[in-house]
Structure 1
């Protein structure tokens, strides 16, 4: 992901830049020749999705967006475009990802950021008629960024990708519904027979030094292209696509998304704003009010962790 820093005073969220889009989206599925009933339902659910009002305030310099670009396959199913990051990049080289990057000074909305990055990385036009907006999802937490997914639908199948080789090695697609399943959407290749399509790993997560450790679950999905060097869909990218598919198809995955007793994403973001140096410095520089973050994290002005202790007591009681 890429971006530049502004010398102007940053505008924290909420503000014009990151107001979640709430337009009346009227998706005419009749204009799509082949579309399964499941796909119609998915597109309508996404187009009708209203992002929950965010209580937290975010520093603009730590915000990023990714584009979840969907398209309809030959049999009417929905697919998402994925890219293989260039092997020459300094970070996350060769990873499977969604096009995206940090907010730039000229971006007027988080949708602008996602569309600009997709245009720069894979040549996807910013034309909102050919690639209409479906919805904007709630924020996700990366190591040093708060990332917001923007979901669009590619209507013009004549569009030809134009890859920025400095950032993207290749482009491929994956069925969106497969992020709700443990069954692979592709025939098993000899090299992948011993591997499960979906796996997860629970990591110990401490939001600050000395804090009680919680569990954080990271999911992984094979792409069926591992023999060619393509990595699985993992971590943050997998989490965003699980969420997109859950909203769209209106059902929960066949696996448990979160580890037992794990904190909510909102809590994790609040802790990051309060304890991770890169966020703390950005909030201080941009004058971000962290009062709500402290309340969500269960911290008073002296840094006590009331909510954490209460959750610990609840977990102990539930085991008795």
Structure 2
């Protein structure tokens, strides 16, 4: 395995030193707790890449969409890292303890980021970890983290695992000049949308997926029903400020209405594309993690705050995020306005 580049070393150090503010995650009932794993590793050039999945076509929610390994907590005593590691084991076969890795491999837990609020009213805690690989040896002359660790997939949940250049999530275009030649398309699209009286930036990244970066499960495309915003949307519903190029989203003439249902649907075989689309809350979490790691702001416009801790606290104060979700319960404009008035 190549040594970390200077930029990667600094990024890992920044993440290791990051101390997230007090979280409202533990105030949420068990049914509202979830965690995802941001698993980083170094490629042969020493640059960081992040592990993502394409969810199986047969799943009820988020079918065919890109996601970070993760899911709901199983018990109140389970920490976010415990949840994220368990789900990563179930979905992509990532061992839960170092002694179960091949020789020379280990995982370091770096930090947790502020919790995000999914539209399904889950508190989602991003957990950041670094997958360390071995130096070349007579037994393994060419160690490859992705090849050696990742291809153990649960096809019931995950159709594929792929990796993406981590630093690129701060940029508008592919860092690799050869990427568009081999995988046609653009890297980034973004737009401002109205979301419960707030300006919300929807990020879309289109990750080029050459064969060396993708591992497929035994996958058979299935016809699926059109996804609904409640089932598919990872857009969170938080009041936010805007930081980017000196512009205010609220005064922007490009502010668009809420996204249509078709935005969340995957047309055709998700795995047949030269690029995989990463969007919604998954994209936002990766952007925020890269901001912390590299100490830079993105080239594109974005919401400046990290996570949704304040909105989660306000919703808890007005009795939302209860253990049992009532049928038809959604975060309406009236609910958000009531939460905005709640005293902190």
CA distance change for structure 1 residues 96 and 63 in 2, over 3 Å: closer, same or farther? same
For residues 91 and 294 of structure 1, what CA distance do their matches in structure 2 show? 28
> Structure 2 CA distance, aligned partners of 1:68 and 1:227?
21
Alpha-carbon distance in 1 for matches of 2:28, 2:337: 13
| Superposed counterparts of 1:64-213, under 5 Å | 64-105=34-75, 108-128=78-98, 130-144=106-120, 145-156=122-133, 157=145, 158-186=148-176, 187-189=179-181, 192-193=184-185, 196-206=186-196, 213=197
* Structure 1 pair 127–95 and aligned structure 2 pair: CA distance change class (3 A): same
Structure 2 counterpart of 1:269: 312
1:248/1:294 CA distance change after superposition, 3 Å: same
Larger relative contact order (CA 8 Å, sep ≥ 6): 2
Separation in 1 of the partners of 2:307 and 2:154?
A: 36
Could you tell me which residue of structure 1 aligns to residue 8 of structure 2?
Answer: 39
TM-score under structure 2 length normalisation: 0.65
Does structure 1 residue 238 correspond to structure 2 residue 228? no
Residues 58, 283 of structure 1: 8 Å contact kept = no
Choose which of 190, 197, 204 in structure 2 pairs with 1:220: 204
Shift of 1:281: 5.4
Deviation string for 1:177-203 (max 9, x for gaps)? Answer: 00100011342148744xx42111222
> In the aligned structure 2, how far is the partner of 1:263 from the partner of 1:136?
12
CA contact (8 A) 2:288 2:306 kept: no
* Unpaired stretches in structure 1, ≥5 consecutive residues: 1-31, 207-212, 285-292, 301-306, 308-320
Q: Distance in 1 between matches of 2:168 and 2:183?
A: 20
Q: Any runs of at least 4 consecutive aligned residues in structure 1 with deviations exceeding 6 A, and if so which?
A: 293-296
CA apart distance, 1:273: 3.9
What is the alpha-carbon distance in structure 1 between the residues aligned to residue 338 and residue 9 of structure 2? 40
Is the alpha carbon distance of 1:88 and 1:296 closer, same or farther for their aligned partners in structure 2, counting shifts above 3 Å?
A: closer
Deviates more, 1:224-233 or 1:141-150: 224-233
Whole-Å separation in 2 of the counterparts to 1:90 and 1:189? 35
Preserved contact between residue 274 and residue 280 of structure 1 (Cα < 8 Å): no
Shift of residue 270 of structure 1?
Answer: 3.8
CA RMSD of aligned residues (A): 3.1
- Which of 303, 308, 313 aligns to 1:258? It is 303
- Contact 2:52-2:164 at 8 Å conserved across structures: yes
The offset of 1:217, in angstroms, is 1.4
Equivalence for 2:212? none
Indicate conservation of the 8 Å contact 1:59/1:283, yes or no.
Answer: no
Aligned mates of 1:55, 1:269 — CA distance in 2: 7
CA shift at 1:160, angstroms? 4.5
Question: 2: CA distance between counterparts of 1:240 and 1:263?
Answer: 9
- TM-score, normalised to structure 1, is 0.70
2:340 to 297, 305, 308: 297
Which runs of no fewer than 5 residues in structure 2 stay unpaired? 99-104, 134-144, 210-269, 327-335
Map 1:274-285 → 2, pairs under 5 A: 279-280=321-322, 282=324
Instruction: Count the aligned residue pairs.
Output: 251
